[in-house]
Amino acid sequence: MVDDSFGERRMMEDSFREIEKAKTAILDSIAEHVKYYKNLDMRITWANKAAAEANNLSQEELVGRRCYEVRHGTERPCDSCPIIKAFETGESHHQEMRTPDGRVWLVRGYPVRDDDGTSIGVVEVSREITEQVIAEKTLKESEERHRTLVQSLNDTIFVLSKDDVFTEFYASSSMEFPAEPDAFLGRNIKEIIPPRGAEMLTRLSAEVRKTGKHTSTEYSMPVGDDKHWFSCGIDLHQDGESTVFVTRDITETRKIEQALKESESSYRSIFQNSPVSIWIEDFSEVKRYVDNLRASGIEDINNYLLKNPDEVSKCAGLVKLIDVNQATIDLHNVRSKAHLLGSLSDIILEDALDMFREEIVAITGGKQYFAKEATMLNLSGENKHLLVQLIVPPGYEETLSRVLLFMEDFTERVKSQAILLNQKQELSEFAHAMGHDLRGSLHAIIGYANLLEEEYEQSRAQEITNLARSMATMLEQSIVLADAGQVIGEIQPVDLDKLVAEVASTVVPKGIRFKQAKLPVVSCDREKMKQVVQNLLANAIQHGKPNVIEVKAHKGEGSISLLFSNDGRTIVENEREKIFDRGFTTKEGGGMGLTIVKKIVDAHRWKITLEPSEKTTFKLTIPRIEEQ
């Protein structure tokens, strides 16, 4: 065990070292400069390779030096240092900073916290943005000069000379310009159009001048705060040297195209994440096959396929599987959709061909919807209960080039229903068996009670009659509930103190001493709880032959325990495990009492056990949530 523990620890240490090496390798491989500071003295605790090389130092030489000494050559931190702000606020900060050599950097500071949320340092990530800043400055400086062009690109015509100078400029009357179109005249395109756009347009202009042939392109430019797309046609001017540009704003078209892409992406997400198996299929070849059959004089396609089952398999080979979602992969328990795509004949199983025949007949006969519940095997050989639905989307009715197949797996629901049905059947059989055993006894009791009324004291006989009729009512209610799939009826607060005393007064003979402690109020079916108490007391009297029966309660953590004890005959070890089994008894006749008790207790979601004690003691455990 020690060797194993040592080995595991060594493996964990080796694993941690490998992870640290991997992290270091990753940080050393990125172009951004990364440094780590433990406190506000701003000494570098760790730096990646890029940060060291940028300062012409090794990583070891950079560690221990203050950042402002290395970066700025100063003796104190910068006033707007984002690293200091991150230490002081505990939040991320960023700042553009310029080094003495004129380069511009975007410096970001990120707090590092331990598991308790305590700040233990700051990570600096910096990146040179000099070119970006210059580009932004250039763009900003030229924005005013280009405003007229940028805002009028909806429908604009201009002419460039062979030197790429604007010689003509015509704007659409619907466009607004901050300056007159004449402001462009005489200016070189490179003076007005950003370099990348100017280079593209001058290159195309040169190509048209060389070939004399029309060309076109699409490009984007910022318009205000938005990005606009334009189509541009370029032709050779009639002078043979200049070029004519006709531009049109196609931003709205691009937006529509983008909206379609986003819509497709959204539907793709719904498709992939749907809990129902979805197949996208192409039935167009099947449609042609069936059309040819009809053209040859075969009208009853269903009858033809029934007589020629090989033709059904042939049709399966004509169906192309375009796509399936993740639920389909899960349903068939395969590794990826690659195992499913291709021809349907590659994956369809024998037991599914009959339903496939019905699908063919339905959708080639003009129906746009087909549905059927079926039991079939998946590709892993598992039996599945499925609701299969076939839908022809609008627009594909003529060709059937797109058909959607949905398979909803309700296998677990069928299993649950079978279990419930079996339980209900068992409960009903149990109740009817119990009723058969008890009705005869109840009829005899009522008969003898009627004789006693005539011969002896009427009040005592009346009590017996009332009790027997109450039991008969309880029995009939139990059978009705059992046939309905229930064991218990209405749940309500019940005072067990009163209920147990009431039952004991009619069940426990005078020769047996009955002791009852204070009992709580619980939520239960009163009549069923009364039946539990009657059966437990009757079991003690009939099988134990006790001198004393005692009922008491004990409040534990999270539950209440009701203890039914008697000092009579104990239950031997080999009988204890079977005590609640249906029909088991230590005497001839009967044998249902404790089984009924167990059924009622379980229906309340309680627990009953036979305790290992000197006295025969049944413990009824009730969750404290039931206490009132």
Summarised one tens digit per residue, pLDDT across range 323-376 is 998 988 888 888 888 887 776 777 777 778 888 899 999 999 999 999 988 787
pLDDT at 495 > cutoff 90: yes
DSSP tag of 1: -
Nearest-angstrom CA–CA distance, 451 and 126: 106
What pLDDT was estimated at residue 387?
Answer: 87
Q: Work out the percent of the chain whose per-residue pLDDT is above 90.
A: 28
What residues contact 531, with CB distance under 8 A and at least 6 apart?
474, 478, 596, 597, 600
Nearest-angstrom CA–CA distance, 62 and 37: 12
What pLDDT was estimated at residue 499?
Answer: 95
What pLDDT was estimated at residue 394?
Answer: 92
Beta strands 513-516 and 548-556: pairing type?
parallel
Instruction: Pick the range with the lowest mean pLDDT from 167-171, 361-365, 548-552.
Output: 167-171
pLDDT at 496 > cutoff 90: yes
Q: Looking at per-residue confidence, does 472 or 169 come out higher?
A: 169
Nearest-angstrom CA–CA distance, 498 and 519: 9
pLDDT at 149 > cutoff 50: no
Q: Using alpha carbons, select from 626, 628, 586, 588 the residue that is nearest to residue 610.
A: 586
What pLDDT was estimated at residue 131?
Answer: 87
DSSP string for 119-138: EEEEEEEEEE-HHHHHHHHH
Average pLDDT over residues 46-62: 86
What pLDDT was estimated at residue 151?
Answer: 47
Q: Looking at per-residue confidence, does 378 or 397 come out higher?
A: 397
What pLDDT was estimated at residue 4?
Answer: 59
pLDDT at 273 > cutoff 80: yes
pLDDT at 211 > cutoff 80: yes
DSSP tag of 351: G
Mean per-residue pLDDT of the chain: 82
Q: How confident is the model at residue 494 (pLDDT cuts 50, 70, 90)?
A: very high
Classify residue 160 by burial, with Cβ atoms within 10 Å: 0-12, 13-18, 19+. Answer: buried
Instruction: Pick the range with the lowest mean pLDDT from 328-337, 386-395, 518-527, 608-617.
Output: 328-337
For residues 197 and 151, is the Cβ–Cβ distance under 8 A?
Answer: no
Question: In the beta sheet, which residues pair with residue 221?
Answer: 228
CA angle 500, 502, 507 (to 5 degrees): 85
What pLDDT was estimated at residue 453?
Answer: 65
Q: How many CB atoms lie within 10 A of CB 624?
A: 13
pLDDT at 590 > cutoff 60: no
pLDDT per residue as tens digits for the range 10-45: 777 777 777 778 777 888 788 888 888 988 888 998
DSSP string for 170-198: EE-TT---SS-GGGGTT-BHHHHS-HHHH
DSSP string for 266-308: HHHHHHHH-SSEEEEEE-HHHHHHHHHHHHTT---HHHHHHH-
Nearest-angstrom CA–CA distance, 62 and 380: 60
